[in-house]
Amino acid sequence: MNQTKRVKRDVSGWVVLNKPYDMTSTEAVGKVRWLFAAKKGGHAGTLDPLATGILPIALGEATKTVPQVQDGRKIYRFAVKWGEATATDDAEGKVVATSDIRPARGAVEAILSRFTGTIQQVPPAYSAIKVDGERAYDLARAGETVTLAAREITIEALRLLDHAEDRSSFEVECQKGTYVRSLARDIAEALGTRAHVIELHRAAVGPFTDAVAVTIAQLEAAAEGEARDALLKPITAGLVGVPEIRLDPQQAAAIRHGNPVLLTGATAPVMLEDAWASFKGAAIATGYVEAGQFHPRRVIL
């Protein structure tokens, strides 16, 4: 029997997905796009297949605001197993080193300050970072030795949530580019032992948190159409925390044609590296302010 081809829609907004365990970020985007019959979609920051939690998925015009969400603060909760290092720094890889040392709670707490603030971190060999045009994880899986340079990252807070002899759990608030698997590896090495991540949950990305997340099951249970669309967050939800420039009708018309506009008024900003322009509450562009003018980078249709 021939099936009717599904008609793709120009639907725009954010799906704040609580990604399930053992699903890739690409698979999650594909599933959400299919459920909404969306023409276009993407995510704001890869989440490992073995991790759960917040995967913000942008549909339609919301894809133009992905950088603003992706650059936001992240919160992760993770558990490590002491005494074993793996090739991937998580439970997926084979054990490559062991240690009999099991750190005491006080020793773990005492060392956390070393890993807060702006620090240097070497990403895991099994990561999506490109080396000579190839993904590091592809090279590592092919048996090649992958050496990645240290990168500067910012960790705002790091807390020990629970501690036992063989495992501990933590919460970290960090900026873009932080690898939790590397953090666990480095904490263990600083304590003279080995460890790898056995549980990882992302609790927040930018303005999106567990409190507003939906599951695949919830999306599937909602009737296709208005009921499912009601689970979408507006494009502006991803721009919380980014300075907003409110435009009048003439300014909005100019911006929609890609032209800069002069901002007037006593409180008008003179310089902003990142901002978004709105008209009657709707986002119409992302951009920046220079010499008192708003310059659009991406116009939102």
**Which is catalytic among the residues 22, 48, 100, 274?**
48
- How far is residue 56's CA from residue 69's CA, in Å, rounded to a whole number? 8
Q: Is 48 a catalytic residue?
A: yes
For residue 41, which of 7, 14, 68, 6 has the smallest C-alpha distance? 14
Exposed, middle or buried, 25 (CB in 10 Å: 0-12/13-18/19+)?
buried
For residue 285, which of 253, 264, 59, 270 has the smallest C-alpha distance? 253
Q: Which residue type, as a one-letter code, is found at position 144?
A: E
Exposed, middle or buried, 257 (CB in 10 Å: 0-12/13-18/19+)?
exposed
Burial 101-139 (b: 16+ CB within 10 A, else e): eebeeeebeebbeebbeebebebbbbbebebeeeebbeb
- How far is residue 111's CA from residue 122's CA, in Å, rounded to a whole number? 18
Q: Which residue type, as a one-letter code, is found at position 98?
A: T
- How far is residue 41's CA from residue 34's CA, in Å, rounded to a whole number? 10
Q: Which pair of tokens denotes residue 213?
A: 């997340």
Classify 238 as helix, strand or coil.
Answer: helix
Residue pair 184/93 in contact (Cβ under 8 Å)? The answer is: no
For residue 66, which of 45, 46, 44 has the smallest C-alpha distance? 44
For residue 200, which of 278, 253, 124, 280 has the smallest C-alpha distance? 124
- How far is residue 301's CA from residue 298's CA, in Å, rounded to a whole number? 9
Point out the residues that are catalytic. 48
